[in-house]
Every structure is written in C-alpha cells, then in structure tokens.
Amino acid sequence: MDSKLESLATALEQRFAAKQEIFRDQLTLFLTPDRIIEAARALRDEFGFTFLSDESAVDYFPQELPRFHVVYQLRTMQAPYLLLTLRVPIEGGEPHMPTLEKVFPNANWFERELWDMFGIRFDDHSDLRRILMPFDWEGHPLRKDYPLGYEEVEFSFNFNEVEARKPHPKD
C-alpha cells in the first residue's frame, strides 16, 4: 500500500475515532454516522480527496446491529492517485444518517438511489424521492428480505386469473 495513504490512515484514525482495515491493498476506514460529514469535509479540504467516486450500501440482513454499511469511495485528482473507502455501519429498523450532499453535490442522486433501493433515510437531503423505481412502489428492492419475485406466465386459458392477481400501480 502507498506510504502516503498509510500515514493518512493513522492521522484519520486518531482524529475521527476511525477503525482501519486493509483488504487486497485497499484501505477502508470505518466511521460512525455522526462523524461522516466532518470526516468527508476534512478529507476534501485538507487531504485532497476532492472526488466522490461512488456511494453505495450493503445489507447484512439477519444481522440488525448494524444492518447496513454505507460505502463511500473517495479519490484524489492529483498524483499520487489514491482511492480511499469509507464505511459507515448503521442500524436496521429505521435506518437514517446525515447526507453528504453539502460536501459533495453528486451525493444527491447516490443517496436518492440508496433511499429507493435500501430505504436508508438521509437527514436534511434536499430531494429525497425515489429515483429508479416508480414513485408509488412499496418496499426497497435491494434489501435482503425483499423477495426476488417472478412473473406468472399468462396463457389464454388463465389470462384473467393471472391478471387479477398481478400487482398494479395504484390509481
């Protein structure tokens, strides 16, 4: 691993009470939800991680505390080009965490997608609507307790029967 990244990891570890993990040469910092904005702002302004590459989440369903991990990928845009992963474990039940929109504007759509797919609420988000699923969809598809589902095949003899059972968008 890059020596610059290593010194950065130790600096952040103390400052934000972060836990570090290295897997396949990739550095991950575990943060608590209340420190994420502060950490992201410091990373952007002081350490040169000006680019939010990705924001996604992982669901560890049967496990409740924490159930979700929100994963951020940050990049530096100057040499040496570094990649830093931030992970924020959050509880199931009513998952919510602060929005990163004020620090990185492109978090807006990423967070809308996370709300849509995982049902994670981002506090103070400017426009938290569904983005990929229809606006009246129920449930959050990428959760592990959301069934994969299938569509029954309609033949002429059972067309009406299957059609009646199908979920339709509400009025």
> Which residues bind to another protein, rule: CB under 8 A?
23-24, 26, 28, 50-54, 56, 58-60, 71, 73, 77, 79, 81, 83, 85, 104-106, 108-109, 113, 117, 126-127, 130-134, 141-142, 144, 146, 148, 168-169, 171
54 or 154: CB nearest another protein: 54
- Minimum CB separation of residue 142 from another protein in Å reads 6
Q: What does the block give as tokens for 10?
A: 């130790």
- Residue 15 Cβ vs another protein, minimum distance, rounded to whole Å: 23
Which residues on neighbouring strands pair with residue 22, listed in sequence order? 27
CB of 107 to another protein, least distance (A): 9
Smallest distance, another protein to C-beta of residue 26, A = 6
Minimum CB separation of residue 28 from another protein in Å reads: 8
- Yes or no: say if 39 and 30 are a contact pair by the CB < 8 Å rule: no
- Which one, 15 or 126, has the nearer CB to another protein? 126
15 vs 19, beta carbon nearer another protein: 19
d(CA 150, CA 163): 14
Q: Measured from the CB atom, is 65 or 77 closer to another protein?
A: 77
| Separation of alpha carbons 67 and 58, rounded Å | 8
**Looking at beta carbons only, is 12 or 101 nearer to another protein?**
101
